[in-house]
Amino acid sequence: MPNATALCLLEGPPLLWLGQTALKFYGRTAVDENYNGLALDDSEGDRIAETIGDADIVFLKNHGVLVAGESIAEAWDDLYYLERAAEVQLKAMNSNRPLKAVPHEVAQRTYEQMRADDKESARAHLNSGMRELRSRRIAFDQ
């Protein structure tokens, strides 16, 4: 995910609460500021697990992003929309104009609204992607 990874390379908080898509992740992210090179032993995994805590998304500074979910559909849906939120944020940042954050109360309410049917919409989203892949495979095989 190049855009979400790009946010991991910036100083400060990676995902800003600027747009509706980003608000899907409001209060669900953690940041690991301590890049330690390649994770070649269990202690690095333990450290990252401790960092993620109750969050679903962890931005690993100088590395990339990890997404956890109760199901594959939810994790895939989150990763898809996280990448879109990151892409939009980077475009806004590239404008060199001041960024307009969403106030906490609105961000929290929007997050709650978006999460209300997340399980069902995530499953539908994954199924749609799978149908697209199957149709491309069929077209390729012919």
The CATH number covering residue 131 comes to 3.40.225.10
Please tell me the pTM assigned to this model: 0.84
Does residue 16 or residue 70 have the better pLDDT? Answer: 16
61-105 pLDDT per residue, tens: 999 999 999 888 889 999 999 999 999 999 999 999 999 999 999
pLDDT at position 36:
87
User: Residues, the chain, total?
Assistant: 142
Number of domains present in the structure of the chain: 1
**Each residue of 74-100: b (16+ CB within 10 Å) or e?**
bbbbbbbbbbbbbbbbeebeeeeeeee
Domain range for residue 105?
2-141
Nearest partner of 66 among 54, 57, 75, judged by Cα? 57
